[in-house]
Chains A and B, each alone.
Chain A
Amino acid sequence: MKKIMNKIYVFMALLVVVTACDVQEFDDLNGPEVESFEQLLTRGDLRDLVGGIFYSSRDRLGTYLDDCGVIGREYWRFSSSDPRFTGDLLGGGNAVLDNNTFYITGPWGSRYRTVKNANLILGFLDNASGTGEFTEAEIAVTRGFLRTFIAYELLLNLNLTDEGGIRLDVSDEDNLGPFVSKTEALQGIRAILEQAITDLGQGGDFPFPLTSGFAGFNTPDTFAQASNAIAARVAAYQGDANGVLGFLGNSFLDLNGDINTGIYHVFSADPTDFLNPMFFPITATTAGARVMQPSFLTDAEAGDNRLNKVQQRADPLTLDGLTGDYLVFVYNSNLTPIGIVRNEELILLYAEANITVNPTEAVSALNIIRNSAGLANYSGATDQASLIDEMLTQRRYSLYAEGHRWIDVRRYGRLNELPLDRPEDDVFSQFPIPLTENQ
């Protein structure tokens, strides 16, 4: 019996031990927590966090470009597993753009994700200031880099919702700023870019590496040229011709340079990376293909070598009442970079601004574009309306499938000139603000 009692005592003791035990509290085992950077930001942390900006700025980029390209009637996006590309985006039948569907919620959320990633780093930098980990100049130019991205990402969202506006101030998730009008949004984005350009003026080097897509623009001084280039685009959207020319003056605009100079999103086959979402092979099927809207070919001038941006396939593809045999082939592999802003666009912005300021200069800029496309000099009328027509045409072919056409015809009030492919199709001028913004 004594033996048994001993066993009982042992067991009781065990019970006491178990009760006294605290439950173990775990950190997030599967990813770094935001909290962990608030107290201490190291150079290594900054490198990783900035790396996230490059990453998330490409998330749902394909959807953004499809939104612009399909509504802008540059091409049709076939997807046999998602009917809404050929339904909602083309306004087929009674379809309208929904405020809770991936084509708006996806890119919209991803752009703001980048903005948040950047805003969090700005916050960490505030805490890191004075810790000796970074020089004040390094902190300033990092802010300039981040602000450029914030402005660019906000601009892409504004391009989708247009007159619906965007939220400019989103740094505090518990206390979001209001939706502001398009005019106010463009002013705000421009102000952020101007602040970025000032920040970048500190010079020196970035305390983090940039991707190969920023080759030639990976120091604060050269990166500021890209910030100016984006600011020039914003000024053009504002209709501020002198502003455009002012920013272009500090950008990498080179009328005689390679039209493809610029900054790019890069891609890789690494499973944690993205492949170029705009690439489909020429053998693509209705499961996933970008089929040229036929007017791109029929409206083109003979000999325009930019028609190599589409390729003919052996058989036509048919889906949802649309048939076409030319596919978009702007990118020739799933690793090809996608431009953020290129010299070709800057030359066109230069031409556009000069239509009012200096029409002769506008014509010569347009001729640079025409010549590079294998076309002869412009021989049409040089009144303002004709030059705008010509400029929009050149933008259509030079920036094909890069997300410009829809926005260009919209800002010149010409949405009604876009072709309709089926009797009940519609051209929408803007996306609704996502449902979950609770507007």
Chain B
Amino acid sequence: MKQNYKSVKMALLFLLFPIIAFAQSEITGTVQDTNGVPIPFANVIEKGTSNGVTTDFDGKFIITVNNLPTTLDFSSLGFTTVSKEITNTSPVAVVLEESLESLDEVIVTGLATSIKRSNSANAVASISSEEIIGTTPPPTIDAALYGKFAGAIVNSNSGAPGGGLSVKLRGATSITGNTQPLYIIDGVYVSNASIPAGLNAVSAAAAGGSASNQDNPTNRIADLNPYDIENIEILKGASAAAIYGSRAAAGVVVITTKKGKAGETKYNLTQSIGATSILNPLGQRTFTEQRVEDSFGIDAVADFIAARDAGRIVDYEDEIYGENGFISNTNFSARGGNENTRLYTSISHINEEGIVNRTGYEKTSLRLNVDHKATDFLKISFSSNYVNSISNRGFFNNDNTGTTIGVSLTGVAPFFDLFPDANGIYPDNPNGSSNPLQTRDRAINRETVNRFIMGTTVNLDIYKAEKSNLALVARGGLDFFGQQSRAIFPKDLQFQRPENGGVNGASIQGESQYKGYNLAAFLVHNYLPNEDWSFRTQAGITNEFFRLSTQLLTATGLVASETNVDQAANVGTDQTRNFQEDAGFFVQEEINYKDQFVATLGLRGDKSSLNGDANKLFYYPKASLAVNFNKFGFWNDESVWNQFKFRIAYGEAGNLPPVGATFTSYDVFSTGGLLGLSLNGVLGDPNINFERQKELEFGTDVSFLDGKLSFSGTYYIKTIDDLILEAAIEPSTGFTSQIVNAGSLRNNGVELAVNGTPFSNSNFRWDVGINFFKNTSEVTELGVDPFNIGAFGATLGTYRIEEGSSATQLVGIGPNPGANGFQVFGDAEPDFQMAFNNAISYKNFDLSFLWQWKQGGDNVNLTALLTDLNGTSHDFDDIDLDPSGQLGNGPFRLSQLGSSAEVFVEDASYLRLREVGLYYNFTQKVLSGILGGKIDGVRVGFSGTNLINIFDYNSYDPEVSNFGGNSIFTGVEVTPFPSSKRFLFHLGVDF
């Protein structure tokens, strides 16, 4: 987007050039970087005017100025800006230094415009392509956000290959509504839906009263290819995101994909191969005859002795989770074009196996981006992306039937024999309803996605004059995908056989079709009355449509080995349609006085079919001010101060009610063949409205020593009013919950970032970045009675929404309950989060690594409890929990069951070496001898993800969420797919 705008501006400047050129003086020159490499497309602008040109491929430029002497500003993305006074027409040679944190980088402020970072009043995070894939390529885009900026909590729901992450910006933004940011790619609103595969029909996970998605599906943002991304901008809260109105309360992630560059077509081929393995195996309990008798009964002792004497003690954890999954990641891209038409195209293929046999993720992505300048005043950008992905997710997480691989493994003792015989017949698990080896080898849980994302932006310069101009920006985007889920549980599975109470095989097949399209048009008017002032006005309208229709067929009683849903005794069908239409308008005025003061005022109006009154407009204002003290002339050009800015911004944004919140409805059921309607348990509110978020943020950006050291600090206060709550209601009403606007929530947070280059010379350079984030939330007002939410009840530890408490507090029954009858045991909110980013280059070696530290934040860990109940916990006999030192950990945890939830609430702090990469770049000297010097660059290296993990959490990984990532109530663990670490070897070739 920002590039688009820049190009518009350049086109505009080109156009202005002949009008105002009286051919006074023509100045020529070159722009190079510190290595003497020409910088193409650098901006050369006569200071205080709109007269400017860009350099050509060789970094050369010609600019005509009215008078001499004059001052030219030279700038380019990623470089510091240089001003040079020109007194004569002799050729000018300008060297631009690479900037650590480029002040000239542009960021989004309006829907159609951008602003220089140095003038921004918001702490907008920006992540470059280098940061996304430079150290190690992430499996999915959202996995690249870990630790890259302050203000986000990124959490993986499980270790299943193919994603399933949640990104939460600046704390708790909603209790019932969406908490995931809005994703926009090249102007297209893209879906990040997680569509469950209907496994509940087998796992009955939601039967225990937790009617929430526990199927662990992929979130659809995983479809994007990280290699295609040029830049990601994160608008963390309402103050920056107000322009996106009613969908922006959880923040907005604006992704720009790579564009073509004019000139010789450049190709890049990158191949990575590697492996993944379990991050933290727990081990098994060591059994003795006495322990077997205590936990499995006297009859099992003989089995144990027989297995032990025959050497058949099996590590089933290793059997299931011990695979080394193979990873291959191939990416090919080409970019090129001429002045009028530029294109970028790529193809990538990712194949990742999981740490469980027969799980994996395979994705093929094709992209074509075309930018075309039709005339001097008309420019068209087109981006298109096709993705095919297949993920085999395995069968994990909570269940109430003892059938998932995770839950059934908790009941497996090492002396059991679960391996198939010579005929491939699996024995039944004597201590559970499922043989996990059989389920792993026979069951299928597969998601297949075919997706198109396309966007077109048209920039039309309607009117141009020396002091003002008017442009029209029109944009259309389409996101379309078909998702097929196939969950097959063959009839020979232990829990499917009728004699074991099974339904003789289940085939659950889902088909989802999603279509989202968005249309927008904006008029942008620039007015530059004199050198000191500039005004930019924009106004536009937006319209968005979203349609998701899911059909789920659940067939049981399968015929022979057929899996087609018609080849079955019983077939259930379920269709769910979610339709939504939003429309709105947007106006914004931006005033800039000498870059000293930059003020913005804006207003968005929005309506949505999800509101009680679909055609009522809701308004979201914003206002901001940035003051650049370094532009006041207090410091001369030689000063160490490059930037000294104070900024303050206020904005409001909304969060739409969940689909269907306005309705009180029935569901359709049957009884012995008789159809029936029974209430679905949710009391709707026909007057439901948006949640309204109001955010005030202020901070400072300081940069010294030519950008070698910079600091940014931001404090924000974010309140959310009219909280939409699916609050518990007295069950004697006949409803389980009611949807109401009732309550307020406040988040306070601080974000700090320090970036610097402690050392730099021609051979060695060390860049370091540290960011820090802390958020605290409080429910400031609650219009309904306090309620428990998001876990399995107070006995086992639960979230509780209560006035005056953190929105993510964890409470439970306990020996010292408060006035509400519950004891507070923790809070899912971390005390703070920090990341340490390092990039070291020595000659041709690049080493980069990222440490991420999450301090505090608690989980509800029920995996340990399930293993305790079966007497299989790895620490069952260790004694370090019982304060009296009497009971082993297993018996102690069990003794607490029903009297205290304390043992189930665990500290989920961690310190990780999140990313590490070491690369070698072959020198031009070496390459020039190969293939006639056609090779421009070769880079080889190793990288890893999560290679070092330090945590004191009694399970596979403190980063986990049984209920997926859509709510703030993550961190509940029930036998997840364990997390893994990755190790990759890379080869990249530019030619």
User: Bound state CA distance, A52 and B554, in angstroms?
Assistant: 21
- Residue numbers in B under 8 Å from A211 (CB-CB): 671-674
CB distance from B886 to the nearest CB of A (A): 14
B576 touches A30 (CB 8 A): yes
A269 touches B728 (CB 8 A): no
Task: Write 16 A-B pairs (CB below 8 A) sorted by A numbering.
Answer: A7-B460, A23-B582, A25-B609, A31-B666, A33-B663, A48-B676, A56-B669, A80-B407, A94-B898, A95-B897, A96-B898, A109-B731, A116-B735, A170-B732, A269-B556, A271-B556
Cβ of A206 under 8 Å from chain B: no
Q: Mark B288-332, 1 if CB is under 8 A from A, else 0.
A: 000000011101100000000000000000000000000000000
A11 touches B674 (CB 8 A): no
User: Bound state CA distance, A366 and B410, in angstroms?
Assistant: 48
Cβ of A371 under 8 Å from chain B: no
User: Bound state CA distance, A49 and B669, in angstroms?
Assistant: 10
CB distance from A360 to the nearest CB of B (A): 42
CB-CB nearest in chain A for B736: A109
B541 touches A55 (CB 8 A): no
Cβ of A106 under 8 Å from chain B: yes
- Residue numbers in B under 8 Å from A30 (CB-CB): 575-577, 660, 665
Of the residues B201, B501, B570, contact of A279 by C-beta under 8 Å: B501
Chain B, 666-724, CB within 8 A of any chain A CB:
666-681, 683
Cβ of A136 under 8 Å from chain B: no
Q: Mark B742-759, 1 if CB is under 8 A from A, else 0.
A: 000000000000000000
Chain A, 51-99, CB within 8 A of any chain B CB:
51-56, 58-59, 79-84, 87-88, 92-96, 98
User: Bound state CA distance, A113 and B676, in angstroms?
Assistant: 13
Is chain A's binding surface mostly helix, strand, loop or mixed?
A: loop
**Given contacts A23-B608, A52-B678, could you give 19 more A-B pairs where the C-beta distance is less than 8 Å?**
A11-B474, A18-B519, A22-B614, A28-B663, A29-B578, A30-B575, A30-B660, A31-B663, A31-B667, A32-B677, A51-B677, A81-B407, A176-B733, A211-B673, A269-B557, A274-B671, A283-B499, A285-B432, A435-B821
A98 touches B793 (CB 8 A): yes
Contact residues of B with A, CB < 8 Å? 201, 208-209, 295-297, 299-300, 377, 398-403, 407-408, 410-411, 428-434, 460, 462, 472, 474, 495, 498-501, 503, 519, 521, 541, 543, 554, 556-557, 569-572, 575-583, 585, 607-609, 614-615, 660, 663-681, 683, 728-736, 785, 787-788, 793-795, 798, 813, 821, 865-866, 869-870, 894-895, 897-899
Q: 4 smallest A-B Cβ distances: which pairs?
A: A116-B734, A95-B898, A271-B572, A51-B676
A100 touches B793 (CB 8 A): yes
CB-CB nearest in chain B for A169: B732
A436 touches B432 (CB 8 A): no
User: Bound state CA distance, A173 and B299, in angstroms?
Assistant: 55
Cβ of A183 under 8 Å from chain B: no
- Residue numbers in B under 8 Å from A311 (CB-CB): none
- Residue numbers in B under 8 Å from A373 (CB-CB): none
User: Bound state CA distance, A109 and B898, in angstroms?
Assistant: 22
Q: How many residues of A contact B (CB 8 A)?
A: 104
Of the residues B209, B582, B665, B870, contact of A102 by C-beta under 8 Å: B209
Chain A, 5-43, CB within 8 A of any chain B CB:
7-8, 11, 14-15, 18-19, 21-35
Question: Which of A92, A102, A115 is packed against the most chain B CB atoms within 10 Å?
Answer: A102
User: Bound state CA distance, A48 and B794, in angstroms?
Assistant: 37
User: Bound state CA distance, A242 and B731, in angstroms?
Assistant: 35
B788 touches A100 (CB 8 A): yes
User: Bound state CA distance, A35 and B899, in angstroms?
Assistant: 45
User: Bound state CA distance, A108 and B674, in angstroms?
Assistant: 24
User: Bound state CA distance, A95 and B794, in angstroms?
Assistant: 12
CB distance from A120 to the nearest CB of B (A): 8
Question: Which of A88, A112, A287, A318 is packed against the most chain B CB atoms within 10 Å?
Answer: A287
B731 touches A105 (CB 8 A): yes
A272 touches B668 (CB 8 A): yes
B500 touches A315 (CB 8 A): no
CB-CB nearest in chain A for B606: A23
Cβ of A119 under 8 Å from chain B: yes
Contact residues of A with B, CB < 8 Å? 4, 7-8, 11, 14-15, 18-19, 21-35, 47-56, 58-59, 79-84, 87-88, 92-96, 98, 100-102, 105-106, 108-109, 112-117, 119-120, 166-167, 170, 173, 176, 209, 211-213, 266-274, 279-281, 283-288, 315-320, 323, 334, 434-438
- Residue numbers in A under 8 Å from B735 (CB-CB): 113, 116, 173
Question: Which of A102, A271, A319 is packed against the most chain B CB atoms within 10 Å?
Answer: A271
CB-CB nearest in chain A for B208: A102
A272 touches B297 (CB 8 A): no
A49 touches B677 (CB 8 A): yes
Of the residues A8, A21, A273, contact of B670 by C-beta under 8 Å: A273
Of the residues B208, B578, B680, B897, contact of A87 by C-beta under 8 Å: B897
User: Bound state CA distance, A266 and B673, in angstroms?
Assistant: 10
- Residue numbers in A under 8 Å from B541 (CB-CB): 15, 18-19
CB distance from B133 to the nearest CB of A (A): 38
A24 touches B581 (CB 8 A): yes
Of the residues A55, A101, A320, contact of B676 by C-beta under 8 Å: A55
A32 touches B299 (CB 8 A): no
CB distance from B451 to the nearest CB of A (A): 23
A176 touches B401 (CB 8 A): no
- Residue numbers in A under 8 Å from B583 (CB-CB): 18, 21, 23
User: Bound state CA distance, A222 and B856, in angstroms?
Assistant: 65
CB distance from A103 to the nearest CB of B (A): 10
- Residue numbers in A under 8 Å from B663 (CB-CB): 27-28, 31, 33
Of the residues A98, A102, A267, contact of B672 by C-beta under 8 Å: A267
CB distance from B671 to the nearest CB of A (A): 4
User: Bound state CA distance, A115 and B670, in angstroms?
Assistant: 18
- Residue numbers in B under 8 Å from A83 (CB-CB): 865-866, 869, 894, 897
B732 touches A112 (CB 8 A): yes
Of the residues B434, B569, B614, contact of A24 by C-beta under 8 Å: B614
B676 touches A94 (CB 8 A): no
B669 touches A52 (CB 8 A): yes
- Residue numbers in A under 8 Å from B813 (CB-CB): 98
A55 touches B411 (CB 8 A): no
User: Bound state CA distance, A369 and B283, in angstroms?
Assistant: 57
CB-CB nearest in chain A for B501: A281
CB-CB nearest in chain B for A323: B297
CB-CB nearest in chain A for B610: A26
User: Bound state CA distance, A354 and B570, in angstroms?
Assistant: 49
CB-CB nearest in chain B for A28: B663
CB distance from A91 to the nearest CB of B (A): 8
Q: A18-B543, A26-B579, A269-B569 are in contact. Are A176 and B869 (CB under 8 A)?
A: no
